[in-house]
Structure 1
Amino acid sequence: MQSPREAGEPPPTTDRAFPAHRAARSGGLDELDAHLIRCRACPRLVAWREEAGRTRRAAFRDWQYWAKPVPGFGPPDAALAVIGLAPAAHGANRTGRMFTGDASGDFLFAALHAVGLASRPGATHRGDGLELYGVRITAPVHCAPPQNKPTPDERTTCRPWLAKELELLAPSLKAVVALGAFGWQTLLPVLQDTGRPLPRPRPAFAHGAHLVLPGPGDGPPLHVLGSYHPSQRNTFTGRLTSAMLIDLLTRAASLAGLNGQGG
């Protein structure tokens, strides 16, 4: 007699196979996100995100934390994707929207607004009216990790969500910005798996790095750019300035065929 799994039943949300199984079977971004927010495949991340939601920071003691995996944010026909690292414990893990509610997000959304890719320069919560124009923001790891450092196993387990998200965006996607070395190192093999050959040796991350990857078959090329992550460590030290990020996002928007408000 077959077990439920042998009979084709989906793995439970706590199983490491859950992301790959559910991502592969998602027919659109809404379906993908609905499966993603149920994921409990990484015990350490589940414990950390939920503990942050229980203990809270004093400034957010009246908040009901999201404390679940955080899905990507932006239109389903985005021409530009921005890939971060993971939700912050008291930022996106609190608000439920990528890069929303912390200093890194304030820095990023101000730059996106300056380039004409966001309707407002700040992001405070999911219902604040913020819209993105032609750009979708996501991450390789969708749960807040301790010390902002996912393990290699956690990154691997979460990878199918990013792979499927980029696959669903592929018909419109023309450019991707990877924020930081972690995003860069995770993104490149995902793109290779979609049929886009990488140069050898594999290009190293750098701010301003620019790859042009040929499309599978006769598909159009994809531009991949690297940027320092807008972490407080980088922005407070001046390693990444507002002007630097605005300049890079302007280049990315041009490569993606965007000219403010998605066109």
Structure 2
Amino acid sequence: MSESEPGPSPDSAAFPQATARTAGSLAVLDPALTDCRACPRLVAWREEVAAARRAAFAEQEYWGRPVPGFGPADARLLVVGLAPAAHGGNRTGRMFTGDRAGDTLFAALHELGLASSAVATGPGDGLTLYGVRVTSPVHCAPPANRPTPTERDTCRPWLARELELVRPTLRAVVLLGAFGWSATLPVLAAAGYELPRPRPVFGHGARVVLHDSRGRPLDVLGCFHVSRRNTYTGRLTPAMLTRVLADAAKAAGLDVPGDS
């Protein structure tokens, strides 16, 4: 595609790939992502939710668009979830912000000194992440929190390019849930990291060290997702989450309490 030729329209399945690969920085990638309309089912759902709104947020204007990653461009640790929540990121416009899952995640990051606050309400709240970026394989809120394989694959170029852009500083990745694990490993393989065979299986506390073509290591850790179901049932406790994040932060070379 030459500079004189227009790119695919935002509602084309080719839009993510064509647009992501030309982004030279996260400052370009993130706003470009918010224009995407490549998955009709997700577009319809995110906009329906934004129009109907939850009663508790009836007076708020919902974002109702794809949600980009959040955190510094030179992050050493990447946390990858599933997709924005319908009344969380889809409402606030910021990843993991405005729902119980985000409350749990940011509280743990704050405890480790990796976030300026344990509370995340929306852009403008002053929240800053230190050395950590949070993102997801699917950037639109899906019905029942279940993206289809086609939607996952259509959205993949955004995550692939995000990984490429943070790669110079990236040292560790935490993958939340089986979906985050299975959706991200192929992206890492495509980025040049060699996956062992058989492919690593997801589990809470699972850990594998990958190497790129230059032999540079990347620690990949699995963690149960910070979903309301997991935290309410005790399948994932705050201590369990903090332990995985602390291990990942240490692997990434970030200072955390108790690290000496």
TM-score in terms of structure 1 length: 0.95
Is 1:229 aligned to 2:228, yes or no? no
CA distance in structure 1 between the partners assigned to 2:123 and 2:256 by the alignment: 22
1:202-224 CA distance string (max 9 Å, x none)? 11100000010012224x21000
CA distance in structure 2 between the partners assigned to 1:73 and 1:136 by the alignment: 6
1:197 maps to: 194
Matches within 5 A, 1:26-45: 26-45=23-42
Q: Would you say the 8 A contact 1:194–1:216 is kept in 2?
A: no
SS at match of 1:81: strand
**1:185 partner amino acid:** S
Matches within 5 A, 1:106-255: 106-218=103-215, 220-255=216-251
1:46-101 CA distance string (max 9 Å, x none)? 00000101000000001110000000000000000000000000000000000000
Task: Please tell me the root mean square deviation across aligned C-alpha atoms, in Å.
Answer: 1.3
SS at match of 1:13: coil
CA distance in structure 1 between the partners assigned to 2:30 and 2:127 by the alignment: 19
**CA shift at 1:28, angstroms?**
0.2
CA distance in structure 2 between the partners assigned to 1:216 and 1:150 by the alignment: 32
Is 1:74 aligned to 2:71, yes or no? yes
Matches within 5 A, 1:59-70: 59-70=56-67
**CA shift at 1:178, angstroms?**
0.2
SS at match of 1:224: strand
**CA shift at 1:260, angstroms?**
4.5
SS at match of 2:108: helix
CA distance in structure 2 between the partners assigned to 1:190 and 1:8 by the alignment: 28
Q: Percent identity?
A: 62
SS at match of 1:140: coil
CA distance in structure 2 between the partners assigned to 1:125 and 1:27 by the alignment: 26
Give the total of aligned pairs.
256
Is 1:24 aligned to 2:21, yes or no? yes
CA distance in structure 1 between the partners assigned to 2:107 and 2:31 by the alignment: 28
Gaps of 5+ in 1: none
2:81 maps to: 84
Q: Which consecutive segments of 4 or more residues in structure 1 shift more than 2 A?
A: none
TM-score in terms of structure 2 length: 0.96
SS at match of 2:174: strand
SS at match of 2:6: coil
